A and B are shown apart, each in its own frame.
Chain A
Amino acid sequence: DARVTQTPRHKVTEMGQEVTMRCQPILGHNTVFWYRQTMMQGLELLAYFRNRAPLDDSGMPKDRFSAEMPDATLATLKIQPSEPRDSAVYFCASGSRDRGSLNYGYTFGSGTRLTVV
């Protein structure tokens, strides 16, 4: 089965450091999402892209978070500077409407577990 690949799987960093999380969407998928999951807030949508263009990043703290898609095979989520409250599991998901249906299920990666100390 095709998979969404996220790296690293785990990251421990000190407060104030820059963190970069990477996502390789499924080949051919043109919609990419970033979600964050914590015990308190559950799954929150941070941002999503379609055809590499950002469509909505309203869920993302703009002062420290940035999301980009430098090419169709790579999406990145950066936090600079990181804070302890950013500790969470970050999921990337990809999907495509080009399957004969306007609505299609998205495939999630295994996530990056971030701990900021």
Chain B
Amino acid sequence: DAKTTQPPSMDCAEGRAANLPCNHSTISGNEYVYWYRQIHSQGPQYIIHGLKNNETNEMASLIITEDRKSSTLILPHATLRDTAVYYCIVRGGGSNYKLTFGKGTLLTVNP
């Protein structure tokens, strides 16, 4: 699976949009981009995933660049409860089910 690069930490003001970047320059054509987050002392939580089109759900939006070498997770109106470590993961399709977690980005939402 392709390796991802994320900033170790970011800050965001409550109520503002949080934009979390991820680089995955070695991604191949059949690999998906997944985002999970982990709130302190809890298990990771699935947020969203995409292949090449932008995706949106009730939690967030995922913007994938046209060349697919990078993506951005957007939390439109961050709250204090969004403070967590956010993981960007690239996972192959087909029968490869594994998720390999990196170090992620610690997002701190400030009042």
List chain A positions with a Cβ less than 8 A from chain B: 4, 31, 33, 35, 42-43, 45, 48, 50, 55-56, 91, 93, 95, 102-103, 105-111
In Å, the complex CA distance between A107 and B42 comes to 12
Q: Which of A4, A93, A103 has most B Cβ within 10 Å? A: A103
In Å, the complex CA distance between A45 and B1 comes to 14
The reply to whether A106 and B102 form a contact with Cβ atoms under 8 Å apart is no
Considering only CB atoms, which chain B residue lies closest to A6 in the complex? B43
In Å, the complex CA distance between A95 and B93 comes to 14
In Å, the complex CA distance between A87 and B44 comes to 19
Query: Inside 8 A of A4's CB, which chain B residues have their CB?
Result: 43
Q: List 24 A-B contacts (CB under 8 A).
A: A4-B43, A31-B97, A33-B97, A33-B98, A42-B102, A42-B103, A43-B44, A43-B87, A45-B98, A48-B97, A50-B97, A91-B43, A102-B94, A103-B32, A103-B49, A103-B91, A105-B34, A105-B36, A105-B46, A105-B49, A108-B43, A109-B43, A110-B42, A110-B43
List chain B positions with a Cβ less than 8 A from chain A: 32, 34, 36, 42-49, 87, 91, 93-94, 97-103
The reply to whether B98 and A48 form a contact with Cβ atoms under 8 Å apart is yes
Considering only CB atoms, which chain B residue lies closest to A102 in the complex? B93
Q: For the complex, would chain B's binding face be called helix, strand, loop or mixed by DSSP majority?
A: loop
Q: A56-B98, A105-B46, A111-B42 are in contact. List 15 more A-B contacts (CB 8 A).
A: A33-B97, A35-B101, A43-B101, A91-B43, A91-B44, A95-B97, A102-B93, A102-B94, A103-B49, A105-B49, A106-B46, A107-B46, A108-B43, A109-B43, A111-B43
